[in-house]
Amino acid sequence: MAQLIDDDPRIIEFDVRTDEMLVNMGPQHPSTHGVLRLVLRTDGEIVSEVEPHIGYLHRCAEKIGENLTARQWIPYTDRMDYLAAMNMNLGWSLAVEKLMQYQVSERARHLRVLIAEMGRIASHLVGMGAYGLDLGTFSPFLYAFREREKILDLFEEACGARLTYSYITVGGLTADLPPGWLRKCEEFLDQFEPVIQEYHALLTTNAIFVKRTAAIGVMSPELAIEYGCSGPVLRGSGVDQDMRRDGESIYTAMYDGYAFEVAVMKNGHYPRDHAYPPVPSDTVIGDCWHRFFVRMLEVVQSMDLVRQAIDRYSACKGPLGEPVKLTEKIPAGDAYLETECPKGQMGFYLVSDGSAIPWRVRARSSSFSNLAVTHELCRGCLIADVPAIVGSLDIVMGEIDR
């Protein structure tokens, strides 16, 4: 540690020991992605300890779930990760279907892939734009929201809502796509593809951005696994795990026949990395830059999956099928299922006593586990690096506090 401090040119006050100071960040700090309060113990500019305080958005959604039927709880899953509500609906629906041993129609399956991957793009756009905002650049935020707006327009046309969709539900989806939707979606993808280069120019290769994120908040794969981190946070540390490929069969069956490569660095290379700007030489695997870059790669990967889903969905002539009854009884037993949401592995656990209303529901939040690691990452960093590290975890408080 002493060696590290000696070598670090940023630390100029090495032998000047100042009084410790407690600094409150939040709960209304703009760069905390919602109502998160961080208490920093600082020595000058150096943070010696970070303690996150959460719970400002707590609604005890799990208790509410014990008073509603499984399908009635869908709108509450919307309000967990409100930036990727489609993926939340999907996670809960699949968990219930797992316990019911229910299989949706082929057409519903492809439509779910289509919608879930569009949701992933929308969520990663916010993650990327807001991350720029955390680091003091405003333009990427506007560029990202410009494109996200088009996805929301498409979602609005499909299900009537722009934020809390409740579109994917137990037993399928609430409605089929309106006529002409697929054409609009393809138009969006064609228009969106070249825009990604803009993002790379604005952030990924931007010298200031690289300086702020490279070798900051380095997380070893062991640390990430021990804390139960998942999603881009885990893959940014070089752990090759994606529930869409490695998860349980009810979930991976949804992606059967789809071609995609998990966005993770293997042997020093990202998949298809010739198509992207080169990885800056001063970054280290597991730092903020890599977590950000994995998200950027997943946007392209999701676009690919959406295109495949459009082809398969339009080739499917069978019926979409009706969702289960609102008061459908669930067989007694319990089931746990994790799905790959944009923020990480979101798990839903359902215990049923055989009636329509679950005995216990549980939401295992990916952001909760991802945030729990903050105090390890922030130890010894500069105050200005704290927003960079917390932002790179891409947390959403609605899901942490539930």
Partner 1 sequence: MRGPGFLEQLEHALPGAVSGSRLDALDPWIEVNPERVVDVCRWLREKSEVRFDALECITAIDWFEPDPKKAAKVTWQPHTELVYHLWSTASRVSIVLKVKLPRWKGDVPGQLPEVASVSGVWRGANWHEREVYDLSGVMFTGHPDLRRILCPEDWEGYPLRKDYEQPVEYHGIRGR
Positions that interact with partner 1 (CB under 8 A): 54-55, 58, 60, 62-63, 98-99, 225-228, 239, 241, 246, 333-336, 338, 345, 347, 349, 351, 359-360, 362, 364, 368-369, 372-373, 376, 401-402
Sequence letter at residue 370: N
- Cβ-contact 43, 18 below 8 angstroms: yes
For residue 176, give the DSSP letter: P
Distance of closest approach, residue 27 Cβ to partner 1, in angstroms: 13
**Are 77 and 88 in contact, with CB atoms under 8 Å apart?**
yes
- Three-class SS state of 283: coil
Q: What minimum distance in Å lies between the beta carbon of 159 and partner 1?
A: 29
Q: Rank residues 173 and 294 by Cβ distance to partner 1 and give the closer one.
A: 294
- Rg of the chain in Å (alpha carbons): 22
Least distance to partner 1 from the beta carbon of 249, Å?
Answer: 11
CB of 398 to partner 1, least distance (A): 13
- The smaller minimum CB distance to partner 1, of residues 41 and 360, is found at 360
115 within 8 A of 254, measured Cβ to Cβ: no
Which residue lies nearer to partner 1 by CB, 58 or 272? 58
The whole-angstrom distance between residue 120's C-alpha and the CA centroid of its chain comes to: 7
Q: CA nearest 167: which of 114, 244, 243?
A: 114
Q: How far is the CB of 38 from partner 1 (least distance, A)?
A: 15
The minimum distance between CB 226 and partner 1, in angstroms, equals 5
Provide the edge-to-edge strand list for the sheet that holds 344-352.
333-341, 344-352, 360-364
Assign 351 to helix, strand or coil: strand
Of 61 and 154, which has the nearer Cβ to partner 1?
Answer: 61
> What is the closest distance, in whole angstroms, from the C-beta atom of residue 124 to partner 1 in the complex?
23
Q: Which is nearer to partner 1, 25 or 373 (CB)?
A: 373
Q: Are 345 and 338 in contact (CB under 8 A)?
A: yes
* CA 253 to chain CA mean position, Å: 21
Measure the CA–CA gap between 219 and 381, rounded to whole angstroms. 13
Residue closer to partner 1, measured from CB, 181 or 349: 349
Residue 60 region by backbone torsions, left for phi larger than 0, else alpha for psi between -120 and 50, else beta: left
Instruction: Select 385 or 401, whichever has its Cβ closest to partner 1.
Output: 401
Residue 104 CB, nearest approach to partner 1 (Å): 18
Enter the tokens of residue 90: 């999907």
Nearer to partner 1, 139 or 355 (CB): 355
CB of 93 to partner 1, least distance (A): 16
Q: Which is nearer to partner 1, 291 or 312 (CB)?
A: 291
Question: What are the C-alpha distances in Å from 115 to residues 89, 287, 303?
Answer: 11, 30, 11
CA 366 to chain CA centroid, Å, is 8
